[in-house]
Structure 1
Amino acid sequence: MATTPVEHPTTSSTFPTRQKPIPYSLVRGRRTPLSSILPPLVFGTATFNHQYNDDPFALDTTGLVTSALTHGIRAFDTSPYYGPSEQLLGNALSTPFVRETFPRNSYMILTKVGRIASEEFDYSKEWVRQSIKTSLERLHTEYLDLVYCHDVEFVSPAEVLEAVRELRRIRDEEGTIRYVGISGFPIDVLGDMAELILRETGEPLDAVQSYANFTLQNQTLAGSRGIQRLRNAGVDVVPNASILGMGLLRRQGVPVGALGDFHPAPSTLREAVRKASDFCDSYGERIEVIAIRFALETWISAGSICGSKGDPASGVPWKHESNDDVGGLKLGVSVIGVSRAPELEKTMLVWRSILDGLEGGRDTAAQAGRWYRAWEWSRNRRKAVQILAEGVQEVLGEWFGYAWASPDPGYVNKRKKDDGGKVRELVEQSEAPWLTPAASPQCAPVAGLAEVREERDLPLR
């Protein structure tokens, strides 16, 4: 079962009784562009998973989601592949407090289809239909705002086309989906798929989510092979996920949950990141702090050509922030992943400071009663972070811009292709309980793990 809500100070303060809806409309077949309403900061729940934590059910996911909402976050990203993530998120969004204060139309839910396990994928129409049905049930909602085809590099282009077409059919005929996109790691594959879908269907994708490709270590997404190519293929929004490179860019190294060390980065890259971390330490900074601020702040502008005018999270409890308050321009969309309240609080402080440095930030800070020099401090902080980011790039050397293989050479999809059993097998799997604390697998022994666990106060992804 999900955790009991924790009433953080932000949830017991004076607040509006109901939050305003996101302005979505569908008139004569024309829907509001995703780039007009998607918030530029999305809460990613991949960390509600055994990959990142020994036992996700032991996390205060309800309190965490509630606190995120009170700080202005209005979009949540999940997936059936993320273990119990959909279930935990759905339960957190279904508490009486959240239902009363944050109506379903005041936030967005983003999920995925197609990936079942590390080596199992099914993009068939039958699986897509059943996966959507199961996600709706787990998330306790009547519709999904955006659905991605999950990790498209693991299947053939024909399979991706089949899944996209089925998602769009569900969107148009059943109305339980509003927008359709794809996600994955290899930049070139994302570009190939976006171009193929536009060419074969005549309709561009609403969104293409890339992860770990715009960080301190790898900024390929910002180049001509990345966001520019996707824009040319008509993609509306390109969210940048996993700004810490799935936890690679942390002083203590990659996070190790109940499934052991899952990270694909080779040992030589990890060693280079460790040297970069020591470099940041020598200037009194933690590499993850620099990495978070650099990625969030830089992607706001670098990702703006496929960004959004949705209202950003204010980072301040119960304070609404509009896009007009920060200049009225499109902002690049980022996805953050946290597991605990201190991680969220630190990230929101960084985000608030970043917004203070944008056009209009000086006036917004003054009107809100914050420090009159907040705008100046934010601009100076940006310069300092940029200098250290360039230093990290020099330390990384040949490893700057490196991307690991996805999938690994020789990968074979282990999903059975027995059409007659697909839906039955999915139903059986969806009804099976998620791992509980007593059934959680043991974590592989890792040197220094006790020290790592003591310092989990900054985001994992």
Structure 2
Amino acid sequence: MASTPTEHPSTTATFPTQQKPIPYGSAKGQRTPLSSILPPLIFGTATFNHQYNSDPFALDTTGLVTSALTHGIRAFDTSPYYGPSEQLLGDALATPFVRQTFPRNSYCILTKVGRIAGEEFNYSAQWVRQSVARSCERLHTDYLDLVYCHDVEFVTPDDVLEAVRELRRIRDETGTIRYIGISGYPIDVLGDMAEMILQETGEPLDAVQSYANFTLQNQTLAGPRGVQRLRNAGVDVVPNASPLGMGLLRRQGVPVGALGDFHPASRELRAAVRQASDFCDEHGEKLEVIAIRFALETWIVAGGFVGSKGDPASGVPWKQESNDDVGGTKLGVSVIGVSKASELEKTMLVWRSILDGLEGGEATAVQAGRWYRAWEWSRNRRKAVQILAEGVQEILGDWFGFAWASPSPDYVYQRKQDSKDIEDADAPWLTPAASPEPVPIEGGEVGEEKNLPLR
């Protein structure tokens, strides 16, 4: 289980005793639009799982969540499919320190329903009800801010429609859910589903989350098949998840956890990414640094019209910042995932610098006592990153804009029986003692894998 959080020097400054609530309201069936309150930087906890880490129980998940909150992050994304992620996140949010300082209404919890395991799905109304109740129990909360139907490309449109209708029934009758969306990988499938739901129900989705489709390697989400089509279907917010392409865009390559190499990228695509990493090295940069900054900074603008005016994470310990402080326009919403405190610290430094470069950033930096040239530095850094990003895209060649098949061509969908109880379907989580050895990588190459990717 996660350890007790360690108070790092960056989190020991004087701080308010209690953080302010997110201004959500609901009256006569009208809810505050998600796009006015969802924070534009979301902490994704897919890393709290065995696919990204050999032993997620050994991670200081409590310390990570606490540090994220102190740096201004006010939204967390998880899923029952991410192994122990919901429980680890829930336990971290339930510590006395967090409960006293960050009331439940001061942050958002986003989770999912429908995906059970690698090739197991159940979108039935019965399963959705049980899954929502279990998520609330694991996360120690009375309500969920946003619930996605997880990986809709693996099931039928009728399945998705059934699940969405049940989620809306729960929303309207119990208030356990506030907003509803879908998530997945193939851009065209997400567009098809969003249009179908609007046509069949007369109500658009609050959110559609895509992953690995706005990165250094693939920017399809920003095009007409992506955000424009989703916006035309009435979707309010389109979060961009996995800006590193599920770990593909890293100097050390894809992460290999206790369950082996899960990534669907071919050896040819991985080889092209290694060449791009070498190119970044030649210019004194790490591929992942360029990739994360490019995706976050560019999506703020490219995804702005399907973004949000929620308070951005300031990146500065115990410094609250509003959307008005960084220009007052909607910002594209991104989901980041980290496993270590050092990764979080670096990501927050990048995010802070990106905010400094937005409209009003110069005055905000001066007012906050930061370097008066932070805005200028951010703008110049943006230009340098853009130049290297274009170089990376040239090296990727035909692999730029490529999307792998999801699901694989040989996938056969078999719906789980509705009568199966959710407790019976829960496989025990791997403990440190039971964790298998990682799959060896021979010669630095990885053969084809049939495992489905994790989000």
**TM-score, L = length of structure 2:** 0.96
Specify whether residues 7 and 215 from structure 1 end up closer, same or farther in structure 2 by C-alpha distance, changes over 3 A only: same
Corresponding position: 1:391 with 2:391: yes
* Residue from 425, 428, 440 that aligns with 1:445: 440
In 2: Cα distance, 1:409 partner to 1:3 partner: 42
Displacement of 1:12: 2.6
- Alpha-carbon offset, residue 341 of structure 1: 0.2
Shift of 1:429: 3.6
Partner of 1:350: 350
Counterpart position of 1:193 = 193
In 2, the alpha carbon distance for the partners of 1:416 and 1:321 equals 45
1:193-218 superposed Cα distances (whole Å, 9 cap, x missing partner): 00000000000000000000000000
2:424 to 406, 428, 451: 428
Could you say what secondary structure the match of 2:189 adopts? helix
| Superposed displacement of residue 447, structure 1 | 5.0
Q: Distance in 1 between matches of 2:361 and 2:75?
A: 23
Please tell me the residue identity of whatever aligns with 1:436: T
Q: How does 1:53-452 map to 2 (within 5 A)?
A: 53-417=53-417, 419-420=418-419, 422=420, 424=421, 426-430=422-426, 433-446=428-441
Q: SS at the partner of 1:268?
A: helix
For the residues of structure 1 that align with 2:157 and 2:93, how far apart are their CA atoms? 35
Q: Classify the secondary structure of the residue corresponding to 1:17.
A: coil
| Amino acid of the structure 2 residue aligned with 1:136 | C
Secondary structure of 1:39's counterpart equals coil
- Asked if 2 retains the 8 angstrom alpha-carbon contact of 1:8 and 1:63, the reply is no
Where 1:402 maps in the other structure, the secondary structure is: coil
1:201-254 C-alpha deviation (Å, 9 max, x unpaired): 000000000000000000000000000000000000000000000000001100
CA distance in structure 1 between the partners assigned to 2:26 and 2:191 by the alignment: 28
Give the Cα–Cα distance (whole angstroms) in 1 for the partners of residues 187 and 240 of structure 2: 12
**CA deviation vs aligned residue, 1:34-66 (integer Å, no higher than 9, x gap):** 000000000000000000000000000000000
Could you list the per-position Cα deviations for residues 272-311 of structure 1 after superposition, in whole angstroms to 9, with x for gaps in the alignment? 0011111111111111000000000000000001000000
Aligned residue for 2:94, secondary structure, equals coil
Cα deviation code 1:12-53 (max 9, x no counterpart): 321000000000000111110000000000000000000000
- How far did residue 135 of structure 1 move? 0.3
Q: Which amino acid in structure 1 is aligned with residue 265 of structure 2?
A: A
| 8 Å Cα contact 1:54-1:257 kept in structure 2 | yes
Matched residue SS, 1:147: strand
Q: Distance in 2 between matches of 1:25 and 1:114?
A: 28
Equivalent AA in structure 2 for residue 439 of structure 1: A
Equivalent residue runs for 1:5-24 within 5 Å: 5-24=5-24
Separation in 1 of the partners of 2:365 and 2:443?
Answer: 42
**Alpha-carbon deviation of 1:448?**
8.2
Please give the alpha-carbon distance, in whole angstroms, between the structure 2 residues aligned to 1:429 and 1:411.
21
| TM-aligned CA deviation for residue 415 of structure 1 | 4.5
Cα pair 1:11 1:66 within 8 Å, conserved: no
Alignment TM-score, normalising by the size of structure 1: 0.95
What amino acid maps onto 2:423 in structure 1?
A: V
- Structure 2: segments with no counterpart, 5+ residues: 445-453
Secondary structure at the residue paired with 2:402? Answer: coil
- Distance across 1 between alignment mates of 2:12 and 2:369: 21
RMSD: 1.3
Tell me the amino acid that sits aligned with residue 143 of structure 2.
Answer: Y
Q: Residue 212 of structure 2 contacts residue 244 of structure 2 at CA under 8 Å; is this kept in 1?
A: yes
1:348-407 residue CA offsets vs partner (Å, 9 max, x unmatched)? 000000000000000000001111100000000001100111111100000000000000
Q: What is the rounded CA distance, in whole Å, between the counterparts of 1:376 and 1:356 in structure 2?
A: 8
Residue number in structure 1 paired with 2:52: 52
SS in 2 for 1:437: coil
**Structure 1: segments with no counterpart, 5+ residues:** 450-459
**Percent identity over paired residues:** 83
Report the residue type matching 2:392 in the other structure: V
Deviation at 1:445, TM superposition (A): 1.5
For residues 233 and 138 of structure 2, the distance between their equivalents in structure 1, rounded to whole angstroms, comes to 33
In 2, Cα distance between equivalents of 1:448 and 1:383: 37
Which amino acid in the other structure matches residue 291 of structure 1? A
Please give the alpha-carbon distance, in whole angstroms, between the structure 1 residues aligned to 2:413 and 2:89: 28
> For the Cα contact (< 8 Å) 2:121–2:416, is it kept in 1?
no
* 2:35–2:307 contact (8 Å) kept in structure 1: yes
Deviation at 1:100, TM superposition (A): 0.1
The offset of 1:4, in angstroms, is 2.2
Aligned-pair distance for 1:414?
4.4
Deviation beyond 4 Å, 4+ runs, structure 1: none
- Residue 41 of structure 1 contacts residue 335 of structure 1 at CA under 8 Å; is this kept in 2? yes
Q: Which segment is superposed worse, 29-38 or 7-16? A: 7-16
Residue correspondences, number: 446
The answer to whether the 8 Å contact 1:119/1:415 transfers is no
CA shift, 1:8, in A, is: 2.0
Q: Which amino acid aligns with 2:408?
A: D
Q: d(CA) in 1 for partners of 2:320 and 2:12? A: 17
Structure 1 equivalent of residue 450 of structure 2: none
- Contact 2:194–2:205 (8 Å) recurs in 1: yes
Which AA in structure 2 matches 1:345?
E
Tell me the distance in 1 between the aligned counterparts of 2:123 and 2:14. Answer: 47
Task: Supply the distance in 1 between the matched residues of 2:10 and 2:429 (Cα, whole angstroms).
Answer: 31
> How much does 1:443 deviate?
1.1
SS where residue 433 of structure 2 aligns?
Answer: helix
State the 1:433 CA deviation.
4.1
